[in-house]
Structure 1
């Protein structure tokens, strides 16, 4: 009887020690933008260039359309107003920016349409392919993106490595 009590006491002590160790560790995964898609606008508009002026980029209309129409998801849209002094800032589409999160839906479950205010041309991101997994390191479990492919204008952009191969939108 005493041996059973001591065994339980030892197990409780080990569990409490492990819980205290992991409870005091702050996890800074920085995985909130792991699936984010980055778009840049070509700014070379001088003398017949294919880029845009800063005035053309001050208001951007962005719409997300669900790919699976059998689900009861609705089309969302947002108007982004950007200061003319920062036309080179990228447009980042993430799970919670610029649209609010929609449950557990991922970026890859939508098609995105971009239209500049005052212009009739629209640009479409037809598909985003995402893959990732969770990796544990001691007490922390963080999400890591392992595949991020953006389909834009019949071309594939591999953005798996952050900051590389951004989609560049030109006229």
Structure 2
């Protein structure tokens, strides 16, 4: 067998095994259920002996994706608007919803914004996701499909393509 054939077959199997491991790690996003067990000692007033009792307190389930909840800021530089918009990202059922919260001009002055649902993330695994993004352009409102990519725990990129108009917004967590 030629050395090049052996090399390519070896590389194929290494890539196959590594790729399978990555697919399994991305597919296992299960909610975490925490249970706290506390032992308390209660002195008996009659016999001075101590007994222990156990109780279990069940904490609410937390998801590995809930770290994206909170306030996010997006900087815009266009001829229509120069400044930033702050969004409040909440979880409603199994979806994440972003509402406009504050407007910020280029001088840093802020003003309360009307609560308008701007983003609905329908699928999110902690790293990537997809949803619907609502934007207003020249007085018309458009709802378009978008992709979400987490750069790190404080930065996400929202990208969309609508009939040839594409953009990538960088959202920073506050």
TM-score w.r.t. length of structure 1? 0.28
Q: Which has the higher contact order (CA 8 A, sep 6+)?
A: 1
- Higher-Rg structure is 2
Q: Which has the higher strand share?
A: 2
